[in-house]
């Protein structure tokens, strides 16, 4: 019963095909726009012109945060949008976690879109409330609204010196007409947006008070684990569960579509009982499948044409002109999300209803999945989204929800399903492995033609037919920013049994590696510098050029240490532009250390600079972990490196020193959460080539052991 993508339906994914990641975003936004006239839930005595905001009589401003707090800071950034236009006192603003509810529009947290997609709607909600509060004060003071201003939670009538706190005006404000399209503030007047406003989630996260999905505790709640078939595409042949059943505290043991479910009074007993089961599995379609074998299939597939998904000028035909041909192939492995909070879902199925408590990136999709599985209406499913202990794209999938519901429907009490770390690393929806082949024509000191072939199993639809074109399969390779006159990108899907999913920055996570490594190889062939080659190709792309220049300056301020070398890379994704310089050193036993990273980013208008810096710092560690260590080893369709010992993450002492410069952002906000991942791996690989002259065309980079 492998789950499916929860964020968008398969149909939406296919519809978005021609547009890639941008199409998905547009699809989500269009959905929101249609639903703009939403019913506002009952907010009692509060002033609530929109589902997102309520000004309470006691001066509290509550803001419903419709995206999941996965560490990216939506509990702060989204309320800031409301608070700015409301002219609220930030200390009085309280975020509220809504249940899954269409009153809040599309609640999925993905595509680095939270601030971008709510930029106007939340500001409008704040401005509506402010307009009504001002109108109320004007009525009370028998003056014109135009004579009144607001000041951090007060309406002020300057000429008479009168002031009224928002709370005192709520009752009268509720009688005022809600403006349809209130004027929004000019950016030069922003008082909260663009500042490092105090975060709303951070205190609870250092006291242990923050409640994540796995922290839910309910009366009578049972715990469940599943003994899963280790082989993708395999199945259970026979099992002996007698010893598990006999253990004190075990409530039930039964077959489940994904293996054998164990339900117990506590998590530890459930895990101990799982160990006591003996099971024989058939390898099924997983027989003989290895990660090396898949890599070879991808490499072989790169020898023949795929589907042309983007081209410019004469496309691949441009390679036939006069010049020097340069060709290279790049191989990237499957990658796991490894969210620190293990995968889980608590389900309570009772009286024809279902309640879910889960760390999710898509509450409405989980609601839909549970409703479908139980054959009940969607409004009979209540979803309590919780703080999310790491998302990275993993938690748009509904697998654990389907599992939990299938187990919980057998009991009349809540059941909390927990995946162990091994379950997580063995049964993830992986970033697909990929093979890239780039063939270019070098002439006149630059790149004149470009032919890029991307071979990667499709995201989510890993077992689709060979002609399937994954809409995000070649994202980041299409719309090449570099001004190469003739260019073409082909994509080809290779079906496998290995489940795939969305992994922070999705297609960009591998396309950027191939493109940015190849540019350095071209620079070497052309006897120019990586910086100069990129600079020449980015004329006409002012934003990319600006981050490239900025990062070069930033890194140049720090003298190079002996025994180190640096590499540069640049990539645009989710509406933002990021350039990085990585510095590497070689240590004992041939091991690599990333010592420092400089990063320049243009993420458009920045709502909260420190949160953006934090996301870039974090993305660099996330991406460097993948570049140095990340891989999924598969034998007979089973993942063999399923703990942090064999599948390591970058440790504290290995984390590079990072310096971030944010460029003055023009225009609307760009994406933030994913944009720092794509450039770091090629920057590291390029630095290593600068260190010893050897090109790295395969990830991960760190020698084993």
CA proximity to 93, closest of 50, 68, 59: 59
- Residue 302 or 584: the one with the smaller Cβ distance to other proteins is 584
- Do the Cβ atoms of 672 and 72 come closer than 8 Å? yes
The nearest distance, CB 514 to other proteins, in angstroms, is 24
The nearest distance, CB 106 to other proteins, in angstroms, is 22
On the question of a cis peptide bond just before residue 310, with omega within 30 degrees of 0, the verdict is: no
Distance, CA of 705 to CA of 75 (rounded, Å)? 41
The nearest distance, CB 592 to other proteins, in angstroms, is 17
- Residue 295 or 611: the one with the smaller Cβ distance to other proteins is 611
Sheet containing 162-165, strands listed edge to edge, beginning at the edge strand earlier in sequence: 148-151, 154-157, 162-165
The token pair that represents 601 in the structure block:
């980013």
End-to-end CA distance of the chain: 36
Radius of gyration of the chain (CA): 27
Bridge partner residues of 585 (DSSP): 564, 593
H, E, C per residue of 680-701: HHHHHHHHHHHHHCCCCCECCC
- Residue 181 or 652: the one with the smaller Cβ distance to other proteins is 652
Residue 146's contacts (CB-CB under 8 Å, 6 or more residues apart) are none
The nearest distance, CB 680 to other proteins, in angstroms, is 10
The nearest distance, CB 51 to other proteins, in angstroms, is 26
The nearest distance, CB 222 to other proteins, in angstroms, is 11
Concatenated DSSP letters for 471-487?
TTTTTTTSS-SS--SEE
Phi and psi based region of residue 619 (left: phi greater than 0; alpha: psi -120 to 50; beta: remaining): alpha
- Residue 588 or 694: the one with the smaller Cβ distance to other proteins is 588
Please state whether beta strands 324-332 and 434-443 pair in parallel, antiparallel, or not at all (unpaired). antiparallel
- Residue 391 or 604: the one with the smaller Cβ distance to other proteins is 391
Residues that bind other proteins (CB under 8 A): 70-73, 196, 199, 201-212, 214-215, 217, 223, 248, 266-269, 271, 338-342, 387-392, 418, 420-421, 610-611, 614-615, 617-622, 643-645, 649-653, 655, 657-658
The nearest distance, CB 267 to other proteins, in angstroms, is 5
- Residue 355 or 617: the one with the smaller Cβ distance to other proteins is 617
The nearest distance, CB 238 to other proteins, in angstroms, is 27
Phi, psi torsion values for 560, nearest 5 degrees: -70, 140
The nearest distance, CB 274 to other proteins, in angstroms, is 12
CA proximity to 276, closest of 313, 242, 248: 242
- Residue 162 or 211: the one with the smaller Cβ distance to other proteins is 211
Q: Is 271 exposed, middle or buried (0-12, 13-18, 19+ CB in 10 A)?
A: middle
Write down the residue that tokens 């505790």 correspond to. Answer: 217
- Residue 382 or 614: the one with the smaller Cβ distance to other proteins is 614
Distance, CA of 487 to CA of 186 (rounded, Å)? 41
The nearest distance, CB 650 to other proteins, in angstroms, is 8
CA proximity to 13, closest of 360, 453, 460: 460
- Residue 135 or 226: the one with the smaller Cβ distance to other proteins is 226
- Residue 619 or 685: the one with the smaller Cβ distance to other proteins is 619
């Amino acid at each position: 019963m492998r789950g499916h993508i929860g964020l968008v339906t398969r149909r939406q994914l296919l519809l978005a095909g021609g547009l890639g990641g941008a199409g998905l975003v547009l699809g989500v936004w269009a959905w929101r726009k249609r639903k703009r006239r939403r019913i506002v839930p009952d907010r009692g005595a509060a002033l609530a012109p929109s589902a997102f905001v309520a000004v309470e009589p006691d001066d509290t401003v509550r803001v419903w945060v419709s995206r999941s707090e996965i560490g990216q800071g939506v509990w702060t950034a989204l309320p800031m949008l409301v608070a700015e236009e409301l002219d609220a006192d930030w200390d009085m603003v309280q975020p509220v976690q809504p249940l899954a509810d269409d009153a809040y529009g599309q609640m999925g947290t993905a595509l680095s879109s939270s601030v971008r997609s709510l930029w106007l709607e939340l500001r409008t909600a704040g401005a509506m409330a402010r307009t009504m509060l001002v109108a109320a004060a004007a009525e009370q003071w028998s003056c014109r609204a135009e004579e009144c201003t607001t000041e951090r939670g007060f309406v002020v009538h300057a000429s008479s010196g009168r002031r009224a706190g928002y709370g005192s005006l709520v009752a009268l404000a509720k009688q005022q007409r809600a403006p349809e399209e209130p004027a929004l503030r000019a950016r030069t007047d922003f008082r909260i947006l663009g500042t490092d406003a105090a975060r709303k989630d951070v205190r609870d996260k250092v006291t242990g008070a923050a409640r994540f999905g796995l922290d839910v505790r309910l009366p009578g709640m049972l715990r469940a684990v599943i003994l899963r078939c280790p082989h993708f595409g395999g199945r259970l042949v026979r099992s002996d569960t007698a010893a598990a059943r006999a253990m004190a505290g075990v409530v039930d043991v039964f077959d489940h579509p994904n293996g054998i479910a164990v339900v117990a009074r506590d998590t530890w007993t459930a895990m101990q009982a799982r160990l006591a089961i003996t099971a024989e599995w058939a390898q099924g379609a997983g027989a003989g499948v290895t990660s090396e074998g898949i890599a070879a299939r991808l490499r072989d597939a790169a020898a023949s044409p795929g589907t042309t998904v983007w081209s410019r000028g004469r496309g691949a035909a441009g390679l036939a002109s006069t010049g020097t041909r340069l060709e290279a192939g790049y191989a990237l492995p499957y990658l796991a999300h490894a969210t620190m909070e293990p995968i889980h879902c608590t389900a309570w199925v009772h009286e024809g209803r279902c309640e879910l408590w889960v760390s999710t990136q898509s509450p409405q999709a989980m609601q839909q999945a549970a409703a479908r599985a139980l054959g009940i209406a969607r409004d009979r499913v209540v979803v309590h989204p919780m703080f999310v202990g790491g998302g990275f794209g993993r938690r748009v999938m509904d697998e654990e929800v389907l599992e939990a519901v299938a187990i919980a429907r057998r009991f009349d009490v809540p059941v909390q399903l927990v995946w162990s770390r091994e379950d997580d690393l063995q049964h993830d929806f992986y970033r697909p492995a990929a093979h890239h082949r780039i063939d270019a024509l070098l002439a006149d000191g630059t790149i004149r033609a470009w032919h890029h072939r991307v071979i990667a199993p499709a995201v989510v639809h890993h077992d689709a037919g060979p002609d399937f074109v994954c809409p995000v399969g070649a994202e980041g390779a299409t719309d090449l920013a570099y001004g190469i006159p003739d260019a073409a990108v082909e994509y080809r899907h290779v079906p496998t049994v290995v489940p795939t999913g969305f992994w922070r920055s999705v297609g960009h996570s591998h396309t950027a590696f191939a493109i940015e490594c190849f540019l350095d190889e071209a620079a070497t062939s052309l006897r120019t510098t990586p910086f100069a080659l990129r600079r020449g190709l980015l004329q006409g792309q002012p934003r990319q050029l600006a981050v490239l220049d900025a990062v070069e300056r930033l890194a140049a301020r720090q003298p190079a240490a002996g025994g180190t070398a640096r590499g540069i890379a640049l990539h645009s994704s989710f509406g933002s532009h990021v350039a990085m310089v990585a510095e590497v050193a070689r240590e004992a036993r041939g091991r690599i250390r990333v010592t420092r990273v400089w990063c320049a980013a243009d993420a458009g208008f920045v709502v909260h600079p420190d949160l953006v810096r934090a996301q870039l710092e974090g993305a660099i560690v996330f991406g460097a972990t993948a570049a140095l260590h990340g891989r999924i080893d598969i034998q007979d369709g089973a993942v063999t490196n399923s703990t942090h010992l064999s599948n390591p993450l970058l440790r504290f002492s290995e984390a590079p020193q990072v310096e971030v410069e944010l460029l003055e952002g023009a225009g609307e906000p760009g994406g933030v959460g994913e944009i720092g991942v794509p450039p770091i791996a090629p920057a590291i690989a390029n630095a290593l080539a600068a260190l010893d002259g050897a090109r790295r065309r395969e990830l991960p980079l760190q020698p084993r052991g």
